[in-house]
Amino acid sequence: MTPTALLPIYDDLSAARASILRRGSLREVEVPPRIADSLRALFGEPVSPDEAVRRIIRSVRQGGDAALLDWNRRIDGATLDALAVPQDAIDAGLRRTPDEVVAALTLAAGRIRAFHEKQPVTGWLDAAGEGSLGQLVRPVESVGVYVAGGTAPLPSSLLMSVIPAQVAGVPEIVVVTPPGRGDGAVPDVILAAAAVCGVRRIYRVGGAQAIAALAYGTESVPRVAKIVGPGNLFVTLAKQQVYGDVGIDGLPGPTETMVIADDSADPALAAADLLAQAEHDVLASAILVTPSRDLAERVSAEIGQRLETLSRAGIITQSLAGRSGAVIVADLDEAFEVANDYAAEHLCLLVRDPWAWLGRVRNAGGVFLGESSFEVLGDYVAGPSHVMPTGGTARFASPLNVLDFVKITSVIGLDPRAAAELSRAASVLARAEALTAHAAAAEARINREPGR
């Protein structure tokens, strides 16, 4: 590894696989000293993030609203009398938000809705000859949307999570978001986003305690059938721990971008895209994969020059040092092997004729083709939800979409003749499994007189 400027460069692929390309369990994430210190102060002893989340969930299940208000005070420094945000406060937040921001939120909401309305989600019924087989499609009855707000308000996440649920027809949608310090006020831009897409129920609570409240319910916060939305490490661990008692969209953890670039790429644009990812979180990953060492060095130099102008330079510096870097590969074929193994949340192709390489992509949350289709557009206004699989889960998971908010119920309505014919095979299989009651139930239909 060669540390050039702020972006480490790995000439040895095996070394990169052992470090920035290595995937591990959520429970094995190396905890930054700042977080470890805050957990020690919060609990009075050293605890792991996983154990901290377990204790918080237990307290909310036992203490309800009182526990939520206490965690608001202890973690977020917010002293509240009530958790719900009144409708007039949502309306006021919309009025205080600058017109150009409201216009941008409205544009984004329209594009997100239009994209998801194109997704085919249909029931069907086949009544050909032997009765009927098919499926019913029904929306989930209630959804809780987590909207992060710890280091920066994220109204885009509200739109990206709420609107696919609305398209699916979910009747009850509630939002939870961390309270601001002091009076616990929710940022106006979050309230504006809620108003733009018609959300009327917002609760001021964040972190693992918010996930516990949605999973089990409190005096104020309703229990929901499914929880969606990205959050920090503690939110993700909480979703993992409550899964089964409630549905979840997945485990979107610290965000990540992998940029595949050749020597045709503009180093300034590649640097800008990596910096945009790194500013999310100290645990974010921004990785460049290229066969051109010259490009890697130029991108690294660009990052060094641009960093001084950015408001979240401290977070970016930690992210680049911890989980980011440039990986030098032999050619683009090897670059795509690396990308498919890593299974990035965002895969950006800054190469000649990116469409020619699209067929090589097997594992990615989203693919961004060329310098005009950069990942930040996907974050805000392109149309697909930006809630995408992280941590390598793109190997088996998909971005948040309408299918996340519906249930499919199988329909079986066979006529007596078909039932009798199929029962012979069912009986054979049941006896092969030593399930004699199953076999008897099937055999009772074989010689059953029609109409009885």
pLDDT tens digits, 221-254: 999 999 999 888 899 899 999 999 999 999 887 8
Q: What is the pTM of this model?
A: 0.91
Is residue 154 located within the same domain as residue 206? yes
Helix boundaries (H) for 169-307: 188-197, 207-216, 233-242, 267-278, 293-307
> What span, in angstroms and rounded, lies between the C-alpha atoms of 300 and 311?
19
Half-sphere exposure in the Cβ direction for 160 (13 Å, CA): 25
- Percentage of the chain beyond pLDDT 70 is 97
3-state helix, strand, coil in the chain (%, to 5): 50, 15, 35
Q: Is there a catalytic annotation at residue 280?
A: no
Which position has the higher pLDDT, 108 or 2?
108
Q: Which of 196, 342, 316 is nearest to 257 (CA)?
A: 342
Domain membership of residue 258 (yes or no) is: yes
Which tokens go with 206?
């964040």
Domain assignment of residue 407, yes or no = no
Residues 439 and 315 in one domain: no
Structural domain contains residue 225: yes
Within this chain, do residues 108 and 232 fall inside the same structural domain, yes or no? yes
Mean pLDDT across the chain: 93
**First and final C-alpha spacing in the chain:** 78
Helix (H) or strand (E) segment spanning residue 88: helix 87-96
Q: What is d(CA 398, CA 364) in angstroms, rounded to the nearest whole number?
A: 8
Q: Residue 108: which H helix or E strand, with range?
A: helix 99-117
Residue 451, pLDDT score = 55
Domain contains 442? yes
Q: 119 and 93: one domain?
A: yes
State the average pLDDT over residues 347-362.
98
Q: Which residues pair with 175 in a beta bridge?
A: 145, 202
**What SS3 state is found at 175?**
strand
Least confident among 318-322, 394-398, 436-440: 318-322
Q: Tell me, what amino acid is at 240?
A: Q
Question: Same domain, yes or no, for 9 and 120?
Answer: no
Q: Does the structure show a pLDDT above 60 at 341? A: yes
**How much is the pLDDT for 3?**
46
User: Tell me, what CATH number does 320's domain have?
Assistant: 3.40.50.1980
pLDDT of residue 1 exceeding 70, the answer is no
Domain contains 353: yes
Residue 103's Cβ-count burial label (10 Å; 0-12, 13-18, 19+) is exposed
- Asked if residue 240 lies in contact with residue 26, where contact means CB atoms within 8 angstroms, the answer is yes
Q: Catalytic: which of 279, 345, 371, 375? A: 345
| pLDDT value of residue 150 | 63
Q: Which residue has the tokens 């094995």?
A: 28
Domain boundary among 196, 231, 250: 250
C-alpha–C-alpha distance, residues 76 and 149, integer Å: 11
Instruction: Find the mean pLDDT for residues 386-396.
Output: 94
Q: Are residues 276 and 360 in the same domain?
A: yes
Total number of domains in the chain: 3
- Collapsing DSSP to helix, strand or coil, 14 comes out as helix
Q: Give the pLDDT mean for 275-281.
A: 90
Assess if residue 174 is contained within a domain. Answer: yes
Q: Is residue 82 part of a domain?
A: no
d(CA 387, CA 371): 21
Q: What's the angle, vertex CA 255, arms to CA 379 and CA 173, rounded to 5?
A: 60
Report d(CA 142, CA 226) in Å as an integer. Answer: 7
231 shares a domain with 276: no
Catalytic one of 116, 280, 346, 386: 346
80 alpha-carbon distance from chain centroid: 29
Choose between 429 and 152: higher pLDDT: 429
Which pLDDT score, from 0 to 100, does residue 29 have?
67
406-414 vs 131-139, strand pairing mode: antiparallel
Whether 256 sits among the annotated catalytic residues: the reply is no
Give the model's pLDDT for residue 25: 73
Q: What is the mean pLDDT of residues 427-441?
A: 97
Rounded Cα distance, 345 and 340, in Å: 11
The region of weakest confidence among 32-36, 133-137, 258-262, 440-444 is 32-36
Q: What is the per-residue pLDDT for 4?
A: 45
- Of 250, 281, 301, which one is at a domain's C-terminal end? 250
Same domain, 244 and 282: no
Select from 250, 272, 304 the last residue of a domain: 250
- Tell me, what's the pLDDT at 5? 56
pLDDT in tens, 106-163: 999 999 999 999 999 999 999 877 889 999 999 999 999 999 986 678 999 999 999 9
Q: Tell me, what's the pLDDT at 143?
A: 98
Domain range for 369? 2-21+254-395
Residue 206 lies in a domain: yes
Pairwise CA distance, residues 368 & 377, whole Å: 9
Please tell me whether residues 208 and 299 are part of one structural domain.
Answer: no
Q: Please give the pLDDT value at position 232.
A: 83
Based on the domain organization, do 231 and 274 belong to the same domain? no
The DSSP secondary-structure symbol of 219 reads S
Do 174 and 270 have their domain in common? no
Q: Does residue 244 sit in the same domain as residue 271?
A: no
